[in-house]
């Protein structure tokens, strides 16, 4: 009888412990779900769900894929959570490219995330699209602006795009908007080197292991806990192109030493190459300086202090190269000195995108008039 009572008591304890454990896990899952719902930004959640394929309506596809010459591009097979396909067959923003129609004036915009529009879903509210609308309102529908911006691209990647893709588009004008991403390389030895291999490596990522992938698909708590592990520290990076192809930041000490030696020599060389490549297609190159949020002019982190100084230097180089090569230039850095124009250090808010387009319009108008007179 005593043994039976002990056995029942033990079973009750085990059951009670199991209920407590299940309740504790349920509470953790609830907490994780709440944090996942309100603590993860839309962009971060979209990245994570793309990686794990939580949307069963379509197979997961990474936003970025390797490219043999540009290092990486956006993935034509990628789908937004709503099923929309945001990229054309070449891995750039829609629409797909067609042969230029007779009578059309085509403008191509080259750049990184501030040209692509990092915080825009379809690019319709990014400055190339806004510029197109403003020019069409003035000159008619025969003007188009193609957005060839890719997040993270430096002048090294843009040289590949200018050499291989711009010629087939037969543009009349090419806008070159670069300098912010190149500024990071100033903190690396020899400014990343002439071929950028001291700054970046070939884009690559590893698939998430099956067991972890299963757990992340079925538990929001695990998604929260595993996010940094899966996305950052272990190289499972189909969405984070920076960590997937760029060496870790040097130490503060090395960043200061490298930054003090940097002159922007490779950036200058690349801007010169871009001008020559564009001119070789028969198009007119236009250089744009790069705005910077005034709140970031004097960052507290040592690495970013060196990077911001390089950002300013690259803008000076753009202005110098424009004068040296007799190229039109639009200075966006000086006019865009209000915090309201920015979401973060360099990415513009809707007001910033609108202002950027407005600042570019006069330079394009002058070129259109020149082209019309030359006909």
Torsion-angle region of 235 (φ positive above 0: left; ψ -120 to 50: alpha; else: beta): left
Q: What is the pLDDT of residue 50?
A: 61
Distance CA 78, CA 61 (A): 5
pTM for the complete prediction? 0.82
Residue 31 has pLDDT above 60, yes or no: yes
Instruction: Quickly state the pLDDT bin for 223 (edges 50, 70, 90).
Output: confident
What is the token pair recorded at 197? 């291999």
CA 226, 229, 231, 234 torsion-angle sign: negative
Distance CA 71, CA 200 (A): 9
Do residues 165 and 90 touch, judged by C-beta distance below 8 A?
A: yes
Distance CA 159, CA 176 (A): 11
Query: How many other β-carbons are positioned within 10 Å of the β-carbon of residue 49?
Result: 18
The model's pLDDT over 242-285, given as tens digits with 9 standing for 90+, comes to 777 888 889 999 999 999 999 999 999 999 999 999 999 999 99
CA 231, 232, 233, 237 torsion-angle sign: positive
CA 231, 119, 318, 334 torsion-angle sign: negative
Instruction: Quickly state the pLDDT bin for 165 (edges 50, 70, 90).
Output: very high
What are the CB-based long-range contacts (under 8 Å, 24+) for 257-260? 258/186, 258/187, 258/188, 258/189, 258/190, 258/191, 258/306, 259/186, 259/187, 259/305, 259/306, 259/307, 259/309, 259/310
The model's pLDDT over 205-219, given as tens digits with 9 standing for 90+, comes to 666 777 887 888 888
Hey, what CATH topology would domain 88-201+246-374 get?
Answer: Rossmann fold (3.40.50)
Query: Which stretches of the chain are DSSP H helices?
Result: 2-39, 42-52, 113-116, 127-139, 155-164, 166-169, 180-184, 210-218, 220-228, 241-245, 252-261, 265-280, 302-324, 350-374
Distance CA 292, CA 296 (A): 7
The model's pLDDT over 45-94, given as tens digits with 9 standing for 90+, comes to 766 666 666 544 444 567 888 899 999 999 898 887 778 899 999 999 99
Domain locations along the chain: 2-39, 88-201+246-374
Q: What is the pLDDT of residue 56?
A: 47
């Amino acid at each position: 009888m005593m043994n039976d009572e002990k056995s029942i008591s033990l079973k009750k304890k085990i059951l009670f412990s199991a209920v407590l454990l299940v309740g504790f896990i349920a509470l953790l899952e609830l907490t994780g779900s709440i944090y996942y719902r309100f603590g993860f930004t839309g962009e971060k959640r979209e990245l994570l769900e793309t990686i794990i394929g939580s949307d069963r309506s379509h197979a997961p596809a990474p936003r970025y894929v390797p490219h043999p010459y540009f290092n990486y591009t956006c993935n034509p097979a990628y789908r937004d959570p709503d099923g929309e396909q945001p990229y054309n067959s070449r891995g750039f923003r829609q629409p797909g490219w067609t042969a230029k129609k007779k009578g059309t004036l085509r403008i191509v915009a080259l750049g990184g995330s501030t040209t692509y529009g990092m915080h825009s879903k379809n690019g319709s509210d990014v400055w190339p699209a806004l510029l197109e609308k403003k020019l069409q309102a003035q000159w008619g529908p025969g003007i188009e602006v193609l957005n060839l911006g890719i997040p993270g691209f430096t002048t090294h990647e843009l040289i590949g795009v200018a050499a291989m893709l711009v010629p087939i588009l037969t543009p009349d004008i090419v806008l070159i908007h670069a300098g912010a991403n190149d500024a990071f390389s100033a903190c690396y030895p020899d400014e990343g080197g002439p071929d950028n291999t001291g700054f970046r490596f070939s884009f690559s990522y590893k698939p998430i292991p099956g067991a972890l992938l299963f757990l992340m698909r079925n538990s929001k708590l695990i998604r929260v806990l595993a996010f940094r592990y899966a996305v950052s520290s272990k190289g499972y990076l189909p969405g984070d192109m920076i960590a997937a192809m760029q060496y870790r930041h040097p130490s503060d000490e090395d960043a200061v030493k490298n930054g003090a030696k940097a002159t922007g020599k490779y950036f200058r060389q690349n801007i010169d190459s871009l001008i020559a490549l564009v001119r070789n297609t028969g198009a007119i190159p236009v250089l744009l300086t790069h705005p910077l949020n005034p709140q970031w002019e004097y960052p507290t982190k040592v690495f970013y202090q060196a990077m911001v100084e390089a950002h300013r230097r690259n803008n000076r180089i753009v202005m110098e190269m424009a004068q040296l090569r007799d190229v039109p230039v639009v200075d966006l850095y000086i006019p865009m000195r209000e915090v309201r124009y920015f979401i973060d250090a360099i990415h513009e808010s809707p007001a910033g995108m609108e202002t950027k387009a407005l600042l570019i319009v006069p330079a394009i108008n002058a070129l259109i008039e020149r082209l019309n007179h030359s006909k």
